[in-house]
Amino acid sequence: MSEVQAIILVGGEGTRLRPLTYGTPKPMVPIAGVPFLARSMERLYEAGITDVILAAGYMPKAITEYFGDGSRLDMRITYAIEETPLGTAGALKNVEEHVRGPFFVFNGDILTSLDLRAMIQYHKKKGGVGSLHLIEVEDPSAFGCVVHDADGAISAFIEKPPPGTAPGNDINAGTYLLEREVLDAIPAGRPVSIERETFPQLIAAGKKLYAHVTNDYWIDLGRPENYLTAHRDVLAGIMPLLVEPGITGEGVAGLRDRRGIVAPVHLDAGTTIDPTATVGPNVVLGRACHVEAGAVIRESVLWDDVRIGPRATVEESILASGVCVGSGAKVGAGSVVGHGYVIADGVEVAPGSRLSEHKK
Ligand code: GDD
Ligand code: MG
């Protein structure tokens, strides 16, 4: 099994991340300045996986323009753009012609330290039609609950069980290694869910699916609170991604004074921070952000070209590119502000707000 291919599912609309995903598709949302999908590609490359199929649909241009044919990354990228969403199994059936043998499937919104080479070994050893990466969570109701025996053999897959009804705590962590014959079980020409249809059908037909349970770092980035948690974990080094935790990034070189910087903080190139401002802990500033005198930013992620006016405060929030926060304005915890939105001087944004210029 030398050449395992990879299919990455990136067709979802990212509704739970709105308004961020009005201007940026979920896979291109940055993790410490780099599109999440680019970070995933790096992980694949390191595991020796260079033949990648991207099953996209929503805002595909942002993806195709960034990655092209993959040669810049020394990879081969094939795109399949769905005009209407085909579902998580329909998307696989749709790229059947490009699949030559066993293949990985990745949900496109998972940040994890899973060792892909170890998963290939596991799959070989078990010899089933598929191996599913599982992790244990306290409340499986937002996930696919997977029941398996001590040998790993899976006997049930229950997508989003109503709270309190899940038969166990191991959940589908969104990485599968499948044999090509799994594609035969997916009907063509209509949307099909791998979680609700294909996996239950394979189990009912007696096909062997195995559980690869690990205790890796794992988070689904599809919710704003998880997006902030993921950054906190990356900044703390719990999820190994940055070279070393502390005060990191190309923007550090431009700092005139570090007194107001509370680690951990990541600063991208071209950011400027007034020495009287307080930035951190757990703050990421994208490229060319400007933080003016007396401003305070805590526990927040700002994308590129964001301007924080004098004495403004931002707490536990996500600000997309081009956002302007006026002088003395306050952005309350849990807020998400979409591309280019302007918060006027002195305005107090209530905690948990969603602000955007987007007109539906
Ligand atoms: N190409 C394509 N077409 N991709 C799709 C489509 C589609 O029609 N629908 C969803 N996707 C992609 C999304 O972009 C995302 O990367 C992935 O498939 C999973 O979709 P989500 O919408 O994020 O699903 P979820 O988070 O509610 O649940 C899934 O992930 C959980 C782990 O985070 C399920 O697989 C659960 O079983 C799992 O536990
Ligand atoms: Mg998800």
Q: What tokens were used for 68? A: 């092209």
Which positions are catalytic? 160
Instruction: Please state, in angstroms and as integers, the Cα–Cα distance from residue 358 to each residue in 20, 337, 338, following that order.
Output: 10, 11, 8
Quick one: which atom of ligand 1 is closest to the CA of 55? Answer: 1
Dihedral Cα 67, 72, 77, 81, nearest 10 deg: 20
Q: Kindly list the domain boundaries of the chain, sorted by start residue.
A: 5-224, 244-355
| Biggest CA pair distance of the chain | 66
* 304-353 residue pLDDT tens: 999 999 999 999 999 999 999 999 999 999 999 999 999 999 999 999 99
Query: Do 344 and 327 touch, CB atoms closer than 8 A?
Result: no
Topology of domain 5-224, CATH: Spore Coat Polysaccharide Biosynthesis Protein SpsA; Chain A (3.90.550)
Is the Cβ atom of 25 under 6 angstroms away from ligand 1? no
pLDDT over 90 (residue 122): yes
* 135-182 residue pLDDT tens: 999 999 999 999 999 999 999 999 999 999 999 999 999 999 999 999
Q: What tokens were used for 19? A: 């308004």
Looking at residue 145, its pLDDT comes to 98
Determine whether domain 244-355 maps to CATH 3.30.200.20: no
Give, using CA atoms, the residue closest to atom 1 of ligand 1: 11
- For 20-51, b/e burial (b = at least 16 CB within 10 A) is bbbbbbbbbbbbbbebbbebbbebbeebebbb
List of residues 6+ apart from 198 with CB closer than 8 A = 89, 182, 185, 186, 192
Quick one: which atom of ligand 1 is closest to the CA of 86? Answer: 8
Q: Which of 234, 237, 266, 235 is nearest to 252 (CA)?
A: 266
